[in-house]
Structure 1
Amino acid sequence: MTQGTGRTGVVIGLDLGTTAVKVLALNERGEVVAQTSGGYALHSGPDGSAVQDAEEVIGAALAALEKVAESLNSAPILALVPSAAMHSLVLLDAADAVLAPALTWADGRPAATLPSLRGVLDPAQSYARTGCPLQTPYHPARLWWLRGTQPELWRRCARIVSLTDLLLHRLTGQWATSVGLASSTGLWNLHTGTWDTGILETLGISADRLPAVYDAQEEVGTVLAGSCRGVAVLAGSSDGALANLGVDPARRGHSVVTVGTSGAVRRLGQGPYLEAQARTWSYRLDRATHLSGGAINNGGLLLDWVRRQWYGDLSKPEGFGRLWSDAGQIPAGAGGLTLLPYLTGERSPHWRSDLSATLHGLQLHHTRAHIARAALEALAFSVKQVWELGQPSARAALSQKVYSTGGLAAEPLWNSVLASALGVPVQVAEVADASAIGAALLGHTHPTALIWAARAEAVSPIAPDPAQQHALDTAWQRWQTLYTRLYEEA
């Protein structure tokens, strides 16, 4: 690894997200000197499937990496560090060929066999050991479902990896994963720091079908080909953990709200935080630092659905521009509209893949602008639910900082609504690509992290607006009541 060597140069952070890869180069002064991105499809179906073409994802990542490396004009590259979207699952055969499309966190099909899994694997014990609820986004549920519904595919499976593990192998020839990714699978024991043999035995798999686990700053190998040939590749961590590190390098435990395609609220700490009802999760950034929080399914995905349905006559950039403009013209409370955003079910706090979206309170005077506003507020309320679960007390919540990251952090209206919905100031990250920044910081010396931290602190927070906060408090109560009547009293 490069820390402490005194060498100058850039570290490349590569963030492999759900629908896009972002690559940037960060120098020792904390400056982004090159960056690019590339997209790939998320294929969903009426059966609840949500999968990706693994080769398309890897191809986009390698192309973006090459583009950034070529733009550096021979500047020394100290290391390459990946940031990874969690919960992807790729099955490989004995020749390491991809057997099927990669499952993503959004795939709800394993819900069908979840009851039978809970009959052989105790949910409370599994959560206590792994920090992961026994739910559909995690490997136990997906592997159990694959084993029961696709026996021929299961028979041919020789290796189980994530999309980022596959990328590391293409880069270095090594089969490896990070502690951050391993801890988010539901197969890794938080207490022993190893794959959980009891859970593996229940699922009928052995540890040799899984990659070796490396700490975040450990070197996996070196790049075998291309413009980065010979560059050290560190294991990195999950995109969530690195988003927190990117805006809070001192690891002080502040809340970080990240909203891209999906969304999450996370905090770094020195120990796991396991919620009594298993509504949140506890992973790792590295072997010394825990990451606790919860995730929501419907983040930017919800706003993109609104754009396609009500702004489909415009190009994508124009449609989003009008959506934000329209939503900004509607007062808080969306004119009485209440939107439950569950287009793809929900993770925290409900953990129900059977939930569906609902728009309630429509009247003749409502327009698409009201719907855009209701969707934005629904997203803020989903974040609020998870944020409140992660607070040890109301007093502690008010004393914490809240950082806004992810694609939506670039929108002033979103940050304003979020601050008023939570009732606390929101600090906006200097760049939306906090995960890629966090990855790059892993490969730099300590002073670079301090420089970045000071820069983040220099940005003035967005305070809650009292009038908007009052209206949102009323809308929040209405939102919770609608959920209860539809899904808990039915």
Structure 2
Amino acid sequence: MSEPLLLGIDLGAGSLKSTVITGAGEVVASASAPVETLVPKPGHSEQDPAGWWVALVASLKSLWEAGVDPDRVVALSLTAGAHTSVLEDEAGEVLRPAIMWNDARSGAQVTRGRAEAGTEILKRSGNRISATWTLPQLMWLADEEPDVHARIRSLTPAKDWLRRKLDGSRATDLTDAWGIMLADAQNGGWSDALCEMAGIRTAVLPAIVRSTDATGTVTEAAAAETGLRAGTTVICGTSDTNAETYSAGMTRPGIGALKLATAATVSTLTATPAFSDDVIHYPHLVPGHYYAITATNSCASAHRWLRDALFEDIGFDGMDRKAQTVPAGSEGLLFHPYLSGERSPYWDPDLRASFVGLGFAHKAAHMCRALYEGVAYSLRDCLEVLRQRGMGFTTARLVGGGTRSALWRQTIADVTGLTIEVPEQGDASFGAALIAGIGAGVFSDTDDAARAIRVGETLHPNPENASVYETGFGLFRAATQALTGVNHDLVAAARGAR
């Protein structure tokens, strides 16, 4: 009998990736398909859910064309970014494009929410209200698109909307429930009080199950569209960061995880959540644990922006080669990656990106290196928040698309002072495949599945570069503070001009 296979599907901000692994954790094949992000106005970020399904079908078709036998896939699971939800009407029709986690439009609603119920929201949801969460996004809809808001009859997190198209289920896991900011972090289930603030009823929300629970099987209709075998077991899944940190090896307290993806995150495992204004908390895949997370909004998205703006002719590889010609510190050039406002530690949707210190001596190569360093400084800003709360660590697993650059990997080590371990496989689609295996009984539990996680590279800080970056980090922070008021004025002026 042929060895059974496991399928993990991850919906990212720029693409959807599907990965097939064996029961030993070996990757058989992976395939990706692009996903388009819409920016109808400055600060807005949306996606059409229909495009997710097109990308899912396309990625699976590529797997089958590569020789993967869908009949050998015994189970599948899905992940996606948190805070992104699909709204549907009575007939099940999508009401509008899904508002993304990096959307900054709800700043006014966040300010109002903090003033009127900030402490209550933190106590009930476990997290501080900011523009990234679904709760203030729903408040924005009630204010700005009341006709759409009034017609909401179903609210479904992104990965669960995709999974429903595969198995017909209506459920989500606890991590994504927290991500909506409508779950009761103290008592479990949905919070009537938070739903009231959002102007919806709990009846429009899906059931909450475990990430590793089976929610159904692939339907005949879905099988016809995707090529999957009808009857294949479907496992709930979880948020991308939950899956990614687990698949990277953050399986016990004391190990951190850094993610260089569309956004960049710093995470660590905790036995209990310490709800606070400056650290995000979610339930983790490891039973009985949570993960504390701080995040910078723009990472690979900033990298892509710079490529599209100035370096389309040479692409990412060309940018990397240019960056390697510039010394640490970019000869006095700083980059702040606040293209979509910022989360940790500033929680300010009106911060904006900037190159600071430009002179005639600076060339295109300096801008490439300064971007790597700017994102690394933002990660250091995030790490300092955890350190101040006694949740620091000395070793971290590094994951995400940004890890493809050897220079960026080393820069992260030099700026943060951490020992960096790079897993052989550590993306969310790999984590989703492990979750599928746990749910289907291929692995006995999360500890068993974690045996498939292997480190491919270990990096230590370069002392000479670390000294340069210690000075640079202080200047990075000082420039952020000095430009905050200017950024606010610029954003206000742009809004007034529209």
- The one of 467, 476, 480 equivalent to 1:470 is 467
Distance in 2, Cα, partners of 1:82 & 1:346? 27
Q: Which runs of 5+ in 2 are unaligned?
A: 489-498
SS at match of 2:382: helix
Deviation at 1:144, TM superposition (A): 0.7
Distance in 2, Cα, partners of 1:455 & 1:219? 22
SS at match of 1:200: helix
User: Do the aligned residues in 2 keep the contact of 1:9 with 1:77 (CA within 8 Å)?
Assistant: yes
Q: Structure 1 residues 130-139 or 279-288, which shifts more? A: 279-288
1:47 aligns with 2:42: yes
Distance in 1, Cα, partners of 2:123 & 2:395? 28
For residues 109-139 of structure 1, the C-alpha deviation after alignment (integer angstroms, 9 at most, x for no partner) is: 111333333344x212212321221111111
User: Do the aligned residues in 2 keep the contact of 1:217 with 1:235 (CA within 8 Å)?
Assistant: yes
Partner in structure 2 of residue 274 of structure 1: 275
1:487 aligns with 2:489: no
Structure 2 letter corresponding to 1:284: P
Deviation at 1:234, TM superposition (A): 0.9
Partner in structure 1 of residue 288 of structure 2: 288
1:139 to 1:304, Cα distance in 2 relative to 1, 3 A: same
Distance in 2, Cα, partners of 1:161 & 1:270? 28
Partner in structure 2 of residue 440 of structure 1: 433
Deviation at 1:27, TM superposition (A): 0.7
Q: Which runs of 5+ in 1 are unaligned?
A: 1-6
For residues 134-155 of structure 1, the C-alpha deviation after alignment (integer angstroms, 9 at most, x for no partner) is: 1111111011110111111112
User: Do the aligned residues in 1 keep the contact of 2:214 with 2:234 (CA within 8 Å)?
Assistant: yes
- The one of 312, 317, 321 equivalent to 2:317 is 321
SS at match of 2:155: strand
Partner in structure 1 of residue 492 of structure 2: none
1:407 aligns with 2:401: yes
User: Do the aligned residues in 1 keep the contact of 2:250 with 2:268 (CA within 8 Å)?
Assistant: no
1:334 aligns with 2:333: no
User: Do the aligned residues in 2 keep the contact of 1:179 with 1:285 (CA within 8 Å)?
Assistant: no
Structure 2 letter corresponding to 1:466: P
Distance in 1, Cα, partners of 2:147 & 2:325? 55
User: Do the aligned residues in 1 keep the contact of 2:250 with 2:397 (CA within 8 Å)?
Assistant: no
Structure 2 letter corresponding to 1:185: I
Deviation at 1:250, TM superposition (A): 3.7
1:324 to 1:235, Cα distance in 2 relative to 1, 3 A: same
1:67 to 1:386, Cα distance in 2 relative to 1, 3 A: same
Deviation at 1:203, TM superposition (A): 2.5
Q: Structure 1 residues 300-309 or 407-416, which shifts more? A: 300-309
Partner in structure 2 of residue 4 of structure 1: none
1:34 to 1:488, Cα distance in 2 relative to 1, 3 A: same
RMSD of aligned residue pairs (Cα, Å): 2.2
Deviation at 1:448, TM superposition (A): 9.3
1:455 to 1:156, Cα distance in 2 relative to 1, 3 A: closer
1:236 aligns with 2:237: yes
Distance in 1, Cα, partners of 2:181 & 2:269? 19
Partner in structure 2 of residue 208 of structure 1: 203
Deviation at 1:393, TM superposition (A): 6.4
User: Do the aligned residues in 2 keep the contact of 1:34 with 1:68 (CA within 8 Å)?
Assistant: yes
1:54 to 1:284, Cα distance in 2 relative to 1, 3 A: same
Partner in structure 2 of residue 73 of structure 1: 69
Distance in 1, Cα, partners of 2:452 & 2:325? 32
Structure 2 letter corresponding to 1:93: D
1:63 aligns with 2:88: no
Percent identical among aligned pairs is 26
Deviation at 1:166, TM superposition (A): 1.3
Counterparts of 1:108-127 in structure 2, within 5 Å, are 108-120=104-116, 122-127=117-122
Structure 2 letter corresponding to 1:109: R
Distance in 2, Cα, partners of 1:230 & 1:216? 20
For residues 24-61 of structure 1, the C-alpha deviation after alignment (integer angstroms, 9 at most, x for no partner) is: 11111111112111111111144321101110112211
Structure 2 letter corresponding to 1:430: E
SS at match of 1:213: strand
Partner in structure 2 of residue 262 of structure 1: 263
Partner in structure 2 of residue 145 of structure 1: 140
User: Do the aligned residues in 2 keep the contact of 1:168 with 1:176 (CA within 8 Å)?
Assistant: no
For residues 442-488 of structure 1, the C-alpha deviation after alignment (integer angstroms, 9 at most, x for no partner) is: 23244796687556555341011111111111111111111122226
Distance in 2, Cα, partners of 1:393 & 1:135? 20
